Amino acid sequence: MNELKRAQFETKIRAHLAELEQLSACGQTAQAVVELDQQAVGRLSRMDALQNQAMAKAQQVNRDRETFRLKAALIRVQEDEYGYCEDCGDEIPDGRLELDLAASRCVSCATG
């Protein structure tokens, strides 16, 4: 992979990390403890709030996982290993990297 492509992918990775960080900040209020005051809301409203809280927490877990993968991709960029399969060493096609910026394995190794 040439330097220009590597720099373009690094820019995309950093932009995606910034987006995930912003989404995480917005999702913090949705993950807050649900107030169980029966005088304030009814039972169904509390159940709905608990379900929304659980979904927000699950989304945060997914964002954290993706953040970890993208940070690992940045390390591979800095070590000049980005774009190469960590199993077989073959170059990962740009199309695959466009779909998954954090891809560390070629299609053959990922499915095999």
Residue range 30-82, pLDDT digits in tens: 666 666 555 555 667 778 888 888 998 899 999 999 999 999 999 999 999 99
Which residue type occupies 76?
A: R
CB 27, CB 59: distance < 8 Å? yes
Q: Which of 104, 110, 107, 106 is nearest to 9 (CA)?
A: 104
Q: Residue 58 has what pLDDT?
A: 93
Rounded CA separation 74/63 (Å): 16
Q: Residue 99 has what pLDDT?
A: 95
In 3-state terms the chain splits into helix, strand, coil percentages (rounded to 5) of 65, 0, 30
